[in-house]
Amino acid sequence: MEDVVEQQNPSLGEDGESDIVTEQATFVHGAPHQDDNGPPKVDAEIEVLHEKVTKQIIKEGHGEKPSKYSTCFMHYRAWTGSTQHKFEDTWQEQRPIELILGKEKKEMEGLGIGISNMKSGERALLHVGWELGYGKEGSFSFPNVPPMADIIYEVELIGFDETKEGKPRSDMTVEERIGAADRRRMDGNALFKEEKLEEAMQQYEMAIAYMGDDFMFQLFGKYRDMAMAVKNPCHLNMAACYIKLKQYDDAIVQCSIVLAEDENNVKALYRRGKARAELGQTDAAREDLLKARKYAPDDKAIARELRVLAEHEKSVYKKQKEMYKGMLGPRPEPRPQQTSWLALFWQWLISLFYKIFKQKTQKSD
């Protein structure tokens, strides 16, 4: 169970192989550190993409750049250039944006120019003139952008699909969206088995993007079951990748998403328990692992993790005991009481007076 990628097969043993070929697609993960003071400061060289659009690379990407009519997925934060007011943040909303190059809205024209000059996984700072943004009038609804406002974008090209007609997710049938997601899941599984964890995660995140909340809320019956059979394995495989990369907090998040839908999912309980144990959250880890063992009592990986957790707690207790012993020091031995010479002298003197007094008493009698 520990490092086997999750397929649609619900068994706990090794998962099956897949020979379905995916079309060209790439994806990245991870939100950048959020700075509430404004756009990030970037020292990289300024690249002029258009007389109204410049780019500075924050993080290098890989592979090819998208071509016209590519369906691109991205995250971005946007600020007005003059006031540095942030008016949109898709990372915070956990809602990646879909944009088809050559078919973008007018206010996205400058952003589209930037995206078309980026590679998959690239994160960049874009400066866009108001003419290629929200224009002379601005926007007074959502987002709220003042008139003639230049825009600064911190944008990450999550991934893209090369398609001839540029078909957005909203125009796909349910079967097409689930099929597109499943192809990425299987492609991610192949990369996982080759230990290409970052690349595998890219494919899993692309699949999850196709299974967004807006889509899942519309499904019921067999279609929802079909979608969950793709979506949940992707979250579990993301968790497995995060554990291998020692990003345990992220692994917990992915497992918790699955457990919100399926509270008794053994793999989610096991992987979340393992991640919590690595973070020292022993009580929560034990609770997850014991619940996983309840539903899979013969699973060796769960039993092994419980043993490791017990041995760790025993070791911690022993170290704490030694530490407190060293801090308090050894218990002092009782010292024998020493008789004072002055006390002995007074005892002798009293005894002498008593004898004299006794002798005089006898004589008087």
In angstroms, rounded to a whole number, what is the distance separating the alpha carbons of residues 31 and 94?
10
Tell me if domain 33-161 and domain 169-312 are identical in fold: no
Question: Please, what's the b/e burial string for 129-155 (b: 16 or more CB within 10 A of its CB; e: otherwise)?
Answer: bbebbbbeebbeeeeebbeebbbbbbb
Q: Quick one: which of 209, 112, 204, 122 has its CA closest to 170?
A: 209
Neighbours of 208 (CB within 10 A): 22
Q: Quote the tokens at residue 123.
A: 């994160």
In angstroms, rounded to a whole number, what is the distance separating the alpha carbons of residues 117 and 65?
6
Could you please report the per-residue DSSP string of 166-224? Answer: ---GGGS-HHHHHHHHHHHHHHHHHHHHTT-HHHHHHHHHHHHHHT-HHHHTT--HHHH
Question: For residue 59, what are the β-bridge partners?
Answer: 123
Which residue matches tokens 């406002």? 149
In angstroms, rounded to a whole number, what is the distance separating the alpha carbons of residues 224 and 215?
10
Could you please report the per-residue DSSP string of 103-128? Answer: S--GGGHHHHHHHHT--BT-EEEEEE
Regions of the chain where pLDDT drops below 50? 3, 8-28
Residue 113, pLDDT score: 97
Please return the burial class of 27, using the count of CB atoms within 10 Å of its CB with bins 0-12, 13-18 and 19+: buried
DSSP H or E segment with residue 158: strand 151-161
CATH of domain 169-312: 1.25.40.10
CATH of domain 33-161: 3.10.50.40
Q: Quote the tokens at residue 202.
A: 């890219």
Residue 15, pLDDT score: 37
8-to-14, 22, 141, 260, 272 alpha-carbon distances in Å:
12, 17, 43, 18, 20
Phi-psi region of 92 (alpha: psi -120 to 50; beta: other; left: phi over 0): alpha
Q: Are 34 and 91 spatial neighbours (Cβ–Cβ below 8 Å)?
A: yes
Q: Quote the tokens at residue 105.
A: 């809205």
18-to-28, 96, 187 alpha-carbon distances in Å:
23, 28, 9
In angstroms, rounded to a whole number, what is the distance separating the alpha carbons of residues 332 and 341?
26
> How many alpha carbons fall within 13 Å on the CB side of residue 348?
6
Contacts of 364 by beta carbon, 8 Å cutoff, 6+ apart? none
Hey, where are the domains in the chain? 33-161, 169-312
Q: Are 148 and 130 spatial neighbours (Cβ–Cβ below 8 Å)?
A: yes
Residue 231, pLDDT score: 94
Residue 20, pLDDT score: 25
